[in-house]
Structure 1
């Protein structure tokens, strides 16, 4: 099989494939979805502490899933796009974050008007962000730092990279759809789809996951601020 190359890969490199994708998503599901289900009833996932915990868990789960996927064939992380980028691409990531935020503002209300979907799926995050300074700091670290890094490593580093063997359109759209669907069929879906499309394309064009991390962090930071100021928007 002839290897497809991205910036920084060698001619002998075989792109990560379905094995890494399946392993990564499976581990993400076990850690991110399965762990809360087995926690003791005494752990309140609806209060500020629970919300801050869930905010951090999404990033930790993505990072663990990425490490598991990357360990399947023990290839250098640079082949997943974990490599340095340029200041120019970072600024493009900032611009992409602004575009994603504007698109989210237009698409989410339209999606809610067209479909009767759950709207309270991130109420826990709002509880954490509005539960006092300590919980706000932990929630902000979880949503604006850990989650962008963990989810970009997994969904762009593994999924987009693996799907690039089928061409740029399938890689970008396919990985964005997988990313959005794993957020659930709810009010978050259109926002996740937009972020997924932008970050996947930046991963493909820049050869690095870091511009996408900037997009993701930009959007999640605004979300944390919104939840801290008006937690009822997630209720």
Structure 2
């Protein structure tokens, strides 16, 4: 029996369907829009940095979509990949996340020329990481932990598990592509695609979203700390 069949998302009624996907997508889009409008009106002298606000939106909006998908029918998180996994899988996720962080330089060197004018896309996040020790800690908490939890819950927990009905390759590739495009058509997109592919494979092989969450936490936290140190 395959890992996906053990996972319970390849067949049977206890898997995310069109209802869960539609509710999750609609809820997340609505929350992203509300958050985006709120962030637009944040004054420059607001005590919370714009990067922190964006991190908060990036975590809470997909978490809201995930919660709506869970509540609409199952009221159980296990069909969405929130299952226990081994310490080895979690450590594997950390190693892969740090490896992806190291690969971000060559990936950026190759693809950044294809996205001229997008150099400042990540600047609010960098500013939040560089605004002192407290700001850095908040940035790690929001961008390094909350955002990965939210994005993996939505893009792997709902979308990828839904797509497993058409096979693991379809699920891994298409969920990663949607995840990448959701980050915008800019220089971040190839990096998001790299993370999405790695996390889709981990979900497929482990049967749990937690290794993917660890990849995302390690990758985001490493980037925030790197910029927080002034690089």
TM-score normalised over the length of structure 2:
0.89
Q: Relative to 1, partners in 2 of residues 1:6 and 1:179: Cα closer, same or farther, differing over 3 Å?
A: farther
Show the 5 A alignment for 1:113-128: 113-128=113-128
Pair 46,108 (structure 1): closer, same or farther in 2 beyond 3 Å: farther
CA distance in 1, matches of 2:166, 2:10: 19
Structure 1 unaligned regions, length at least 5: none
In the TM superposition, what whole-angstrom CA distance separates every residue of 1:81-132 from its partner, at most 9, and x where no partner exists?
1011101111211222133223322111111123425121121111111112
Which secondary structure state, in structure 1, belongs to the residue aligned with residue 85 of structure 2?
coil
Runs of 4+ in 1 over 4 A off after TM superposition: 8-12, 45-48
SS of residue paired to 1:120: coil
Whether the 8 Å contact between 2:10 and 2:164 is mirrored in structure 1 is: no
Does residue 63 of the first structure (1) align with residue 63 of the second (2)?
yes
Aligned partners of 1:184, 1:47: CA distance in 2, in Å?
Answer: 27
Is the Cα–Cα contact under 8 Å of residues 45 and 124 in structure 1 kept in the other structure? no
Cα distance 1:227–1:33, how it changes in 2: closer, same or farther (>3 A)? Answer: farther
Say whether residues 1:158 and 2:158 are aligned partners: yes
Calculate the TM-score normalised by the size of structure 1: 0.88
- CA 45–57 in structure 1, closer or farther in 2 if over 3 Å, else same: farther
Aligned residue pair count: 228
Distance 1:42-1:220 versus aligned 2 partners, 3 A rule: closer
Q: Residue 142 of structure 1 aligns with which residue?
A: 142
Change in CA separation of 1:80 and 1:195 when aligned onto 2, cut-off 3 Å: same
- 1:65-214 matches, cutoff 5 A: 65-214=65-214
- Call closer, same or farther: CA 1:230–1:164 in 2, change over 3 Å: same
Instruction: Check the 8 A contact 1:171/1:200 in 2, yes or no.
Output: yes
Q: Unpaired runs of 5+ in structure 2? A: none
Indicate conservation of the 8 Å contact 1:32/1:61, yes or no. Answer: yes
Matching residue of 1:216: 216
**In structure 2, C-alpha distance between the alignment counterparts of 1:45 and 1:160, rounded to whole Å:** 40
Distance 1:91 1:45, change over 3 A: farther
